[in-house]
Amino acid sequence: MTEKIVEAAQRLRGRRIVITGAASGIGRCTAELFAAHGAKVALLDRDESALAGVRDAIPGAVARSADVTNEASVVSAVQELAAAMGGIDGVVSAAGVMLRGSIADTSVDEFRRVVEINLTGPYIVVRACLPWLVQAPEATIVNLGSGQSLLPNSPDRTAYSASKGGVLNLTRAMAAELAPRIRANTVCPGLVDTPMALGVQGNVGNYALRRLAKPIEIAEAILFLTAFESSFVTGAALAVDGGRSFH
């Protein structure tokens, strides 16, 4: 496990959850935490070898490599994962990429690629999971936004900010359309100590808590929004950002 998980309560006992971006960072930590809470986890990532390592470290986990931008590949992966688990009760979309660059510095192709992975990706994944989610008694969707979903005031992250703003409204649209059967919420982390944040760890002056988050601190918020404890929460954006969005 990448984090020490002390919580022993089985808040997700028997729930079958697809987690994208599960080979690294927040997705990986979420998979470990969910499994510790009794969930069956189905891991999806484009990094096949890292994914196999995570799958082997989580007892009972199933995994399939796929690129979230490739609809045919996601549909076939989800079919296989759903068959292996006997259904799908929830989705966590944590696959994503960061790109720094101003409007002038970001080519249109780079902009399209970031939006394709960060915004179209969660759409493709949820769409592929929908046939099983609509059959689940209390299905949940959690999409990973960012501080940039709420306050896109970091210069030079144009494509990333656009994609993460889109995730917030995509998730609200899912919450409105799929209610009352399925809940959908966005988690908006500040800087998190994962490979994605390499090189920007020093930029914590704007955070009230003056530090980066640990992946487990984001995973716990995703757990809350997936578990029964949040049963009246849908269409929400939960800032888990050490005070960045108000500070």
Ligand X SMILES: NC(=O)c1ccc[n+]([C@@H]2O[C@H](COP(=O)([O-])OP(=O)(O)OC[C@H]3O[C@@H](n4cnc5c(N)ncnc54)[C@H](O)[C@@H]3O)[C@@H](O)[C@H]2O)c1
Return residues touching ligand X (CB under 6 A): 21, 23-27, 45-47, 67-69, 94-98, 117, 121, 144, 146, 189, 191-192, 194-197
Query: In the bound complex, what is the minimum distance in angstroms from residue 70's beta carbon to ligand X?
Result: 8
Residue keyed to tokens 């209390």: 138
For residue 13, the minimal CB distance to ligand X (Å) is 25
Which one of 160, 166, 190, 192 is the catalytic residue? 160
Q: Which has the closest alpha carbon to 156: 145, 165, 148?
A: 148
DSSP 101: B
> Judged by CB, which is closer to ligand X: 69, or 138?
69
Query: What's the rounded Cα separation, in Å, for the pair 154 and 141?
Result: 27
Of the pair 82, 94, the CB lying nearest ligand X is at 94
Q: Which of 14, 194, 215, 169 is nearest to 97 (CA)?
A: 194
Q: Which is nearer to ligand X, 12 or 51 (CB)?
A: 51
Rounded least distance, CB 190 to ligand X, Å: 6
Instruction: Name the minimum Å distance from CB 14 to ligand X.
Output: 26
Q: Cis (ω within 30 of 0) for the bond into 180?
A: yes
Q: Which residue is nearest to ligand X (CB)?
A: 25
Q: Which is nearer to ligand X, 138 or 193 (CB)?
A: 193
CA separation, residue 40 to residues 3, 34, 36, 62, 106 (Å): 19, 8, 10, 8, 40
CA distance 165 to 112: 15
Annotated catalytic residue 207: no
Report which DSSP code applies to 16.
E
Q: Which residues are catalytic?
A: 160
